[in-house]
Structure 1
């Protein structure tokens, strides 16, 4: 089991949430702002089996591209989101949990 931490621009956040919930992904959403991208963004936490990671990454990409196509807007950023993949067994300190 892996924990995918995905920090995404608020422009894409609603679409990511809607599309991925429809596909059965469970997530925790954290509103955040500040130093990482110096603007409003949303952090999603996904618990995912290792074999499902490519499908989740493709679903994230598709949700971002769909919003760009609908708004006829091209991203000026090199990346639409930043993600980190963590083994669940290593995530407890990251999440502030003690064992």
Structure 2
């Protein structure tokens, strides 16, 4: 058995859970926050038999797409002890980050 841990943007969560459920995959979701953009994410956990892992990955790929957006980067000003200057940078957002790990033991009590 494997555990697929997927981090997705909040706006993709409902569609992803719906698609997983339509394909008979049960999922657990947790709210999370990204460290770079400080925006809301959702971490989705799916326990699945090893032969079904690629099916789960294919569903995630079909739902979670990347886009580009402008974000403000706060850069410290070297000559000031306290102060930052913000300037826009283009970043790629969306898509999904996946971890597939072995499950040593699975119990449903």
Give the TM-score, by structure 1 length. 0.72
C-alpha change, 1:37 and 1:25, in structure 2 (3 Å) is farther
Stretches of structure 1 that go unaligned for 5 or more consecutive residues are: 66-73, 91-99
The structure with the largest alpha-carbon Rg is: 2
Q: Which structure dedicates a bigger proportion of its chain to strand? A: 2
Stretches of structure 2 that go unaligned for 5 or more consecutive residues are: 69-91
Structure-to-structure mapping, 1:1-99, within 5 angstroms? 1-35=1-35, 38-65=38-65, 75-76=67-68, 77=92, 80-89=95-104
Give the TM-score, by structure 2 length. 0.66
- Preserved CA contact (<8 Å) 2:64 2:94: no
Runs of 4+ in 1 over 4 A off after TM superposition: none
Q: Number of paired residues?
A: 83
SS at match of 2:59: helix
- Kindly report the root-mean-square deviation, in angstroms, between the aligned alpha carbons of the 2 structures: 2.3
